[in-house]
Amino acid sequence: MIMLLDWSGSMSDTLGNTVEQLLNLVEFCRKVNIPFEVYFFTSERREKAKKSFNYKDGDWMFDDFNLVNCFSHRMKKQEFEQACMYMYHFGKYFTHNYTYTKNWNEKAQMYRYDSFGCPSSLYLGNTPLNEALVYMDKLIPLFKQKYNIEKLTFITLTDGGANCFRGYIKSTGMLDDYGQIENRKYVGYDGVKVINHGKKKIVLTDETLTSKLLKLIQVKNQSNNVGFYILKRVRRWDIEQYCEGDWLQREKEYNKLRKEMTRDKAIAINKSGYSKYFLLDGKKMNVENFSFDDAEIKKATPSEFKRLFGKSMQSRLVSRVVLNKFIKEVA
């Protein structure tokens, strides 16, 4: 498994729940001895940044970015547990410091003044998903070769569209102070965007870039691409845009998917570049653990106890949305 986590500002209000789901995934992989790597992609960590791409005249520009390897099957037990602790607290820190809830003060105090400060290098930025996918095209084959992997699942956890192109490189016709290297600048968006992939030339637009990069990864590596898209709030358009057919067919499909979202907190839809793509209700992704307090147990009849236990198991299973869908995909 290789997983990409979106570490952008728009994730702030769902990052805590998303990290909880991610912890379920990596714990599962460790338990069944599946090699895995987890990276979050970020536009920050500028003090450690290097130029991500080398350009020449006519090249389209991406943003410079960083991939941070936050979990790995190579970690020893103590290192892994420490990584889990930090990621959990970072996720909660952003969720409760950048959003307001009814008990905001209580939770904000809990995570703001704990012993884990959040360094500026881990602040949230924009969404360099496409940039990360370009690197995955190189990294995934190395991962497969190193561990002699036949079946690979590539997972993305995001909440929005990726950054678009920043323009293309064009020479200014000027030399630098040493008279050797031309100064370059980026200019507008006119011109044809093309990926040179081996002998193939693939024409792109900003709208198709992500799906075509994913398709290249899928074809090249025979990977099972699984996407988890986290919705801030479930609106009609978020589901309806994936329904096909005439008005009556779309309405019927929408009602079916909406009921499924209410019941399971997730639905599967078709999306180019992915083998499976899931829409998740970001507000309902928190992982729930259930326990009976002494008072409740003492006064409960056997039938009441059975009802409470059944309710607790249902909530626990539903709360592990990503893990449940993930296990079905890799079974």
pLDDT in tens, 185-203: 666 666 667 777 667 777 7
Is 2-165+194-288+321-330 assigned to CATH 3.40.50.410? yes
Mean pLDDT of 267-276: 90
Reading the block at residue 225, the tokens are: 């691409």
Mean pLDDT of 112-140: 80
Q: Kindly tell me if the per-residue pLDDT of 35 is higher than 80.
A: yes
pLDDT of residue 312: 46
Q: Kindly tell me if the per-residue pLDDT of 235 is higher than 70.
A: yes
pLDDT of residue 290: 47
Q: Would you say how long the chain is, in residues?
A: 331
pLDDT of residue 107: 54
Show contacts of 299-305: CB within 8 Å, 24+ apart: none
Q: Kindly tell me if the per-residue pLDDT of 122 is higher than 90.
A: no
Are 193 and 204 contacting, i.e. CB atoms less than 8 angstroms apart?
yes
As to burial, measured by CB atoms within 10 angstroms (0-12 exposed, 13-18 middle, 19+ buried), residue 293 is: exposed
Confidence of residue 314 (pLDDT cuts 50, 70, 90): very low
CA–CA distance, 61 with 55 (Å, rounded to integer): 8
Where is pLDDT greater, at 164 or 246? 246
pLDDT of residue 99: 55
* pTM assigned to the model: 0.78
Domain boundaries of the chain, sorted by first residue: 2-165+194-288+321-330
Where is pLDDT greater, at 181 or 197? 197
CA–CA distance, 81 with 196 (Å, rounded to integer): 42
CA–CA distance, 189 with 164 (Å, rounded to integer): 10
Confidence of residue 60 (pLDDT cuts 50, 70, 90): confident
Mind listing the pLDDT tens digit for each residue in 259-270? 988 888 888 888
Mean pLDDT of 76-86: 94
Confidence of residue 38 (pLDDT cuts 50, 70, 90): very high
Mean pLDDT of 35-55: 79
Confidence of residue 309 (pLDDT cuts 50, 70, 90): very low
Q: Kindly tell me if the per-residue pLDDT of 310 is higher than 60.
A: no
Confidence of residue 255 (pLDDT cuts 50, 70, 90): very high
